[in-house]
Amino acid sequence: MNTVYGSGAGVSGLAAPDWTALGRQFDGPGVAAIALMGSHGRGDAGPYSDVDLVRFLAEEAPHPAGDGSHWIDGRLVVVSTHTPASAARILVDPEAACQNLMGLRTARALVDRDGHFAALQARAQAFRWDAAMQTRANGRAAELLAGWIEEAHKGLEGLRRGDTGRLLNAQFGLSWGLSTVMMVQRGILLASDNDVWDGINRVLGEDSTWVRLRHAVFGLGCDPGGLSGLQARVRAGLALYVETVALMHEALPEPQRAMILATCARIQTFWKRGE
């Protein structure tokens, strides 16, 4: 469902949101809590920041109406909903933890019946990335890395043919895809989705080979113009794939390990041939 209230063509002079009224607007049967998350929850929102409202259901049930994007009094309001199972997943699933746990820690409750959100937030504050979580992270990172093998092959074939479509597909997987792989394997808890660049670079180290290659595959540090620029980014992405595998080598489980190593060998053979 999408809602439009007010014009808000410009952002200067926008009145401070009435958080109580906004929470009430998206409240309803089965909703145990509503939290203000993202930059507004942290208190560092700018004039163009969207408002992230997350509803938490008391029981497993279909999501109530209201999920989606809404334009309310000149602000973009994005509403999503967690069931008890999906909320609990944030504390045990490595990828979900990396993407959502810090948001839970910094969120502000607008509605909190029977301390439902307070209890979840306390669990988020107490969370520790332990050995069992790292084992799950290694497995998930390997699954993701294996999933991007197709994009590595698109990159190789795209370079051979000079095929822009294949190169664009490859560049996406070898940039955003490998970023997610490293985020999960290293257990990098992002402050928000906007932290995907700085947060990962900070942990890996700005002077590391991995981060330098990541700059190049995103077009930062190599010629960004034209097909030659795209080719340069894909070549950097293939090197980033090999470097990612090198950093994860001891943590790669079967059955993905064999196909991942075979892909690295194919990339290296491609380089040796000077293609």
Inter-CA distances, 28 with 2, 22, 57, 58, 81, Å? 17, 12, 10, 11, 12
203: enclosing H helix or E strand: helix 198-204
List pLDDT tens digits, range 139-177: 999 999 999 999 999 999 999 999 999 999 999 999 999
**In this model, does residue 234 exceed pLDDT 50?**
yes
Q: What is the pLDDT of residue 6?
A: 44
Confidence of residue 223 (pLDDT cuts 50, 70, 90): low
Percent of the chain with pLDDT over 70: 92
List pLDDT tens digits, range 115-131: 999 999 999 999 999 99
CATH architecture, domain defined by 3-126: 2-Layer Sandwich (3.30)
Q: Which residue has the higher pLDDT, 225 or 244?
A: 244
Peptide linkage before 255 cis (omega within 30 of 0): yes
Question: What tokens does 132 get?
Answer: 């069992």
Neighbouring CB atoms inside 10 A of 151's CB total: 24
Mean residue pLDDT of the chain comes to 92
List pLDDT tens digits, range 59-87: 999 999 999 999 999 999 999 999 999 99
Rounded Cα distance between 180 and 151, Å, is 14
Q: What is the pLDDT of residue 3?
A: 53
Q: What is the pLDDT of residue 10?
A: 43
Rounded Cα distance between 194 and 5, Å, is 27
pTM beyond 0.85, yes or no:
yes
Q: What is the pLDDT of residue 15?
A: 78
Q: What is the pLDDT of residue 5?
A: 41
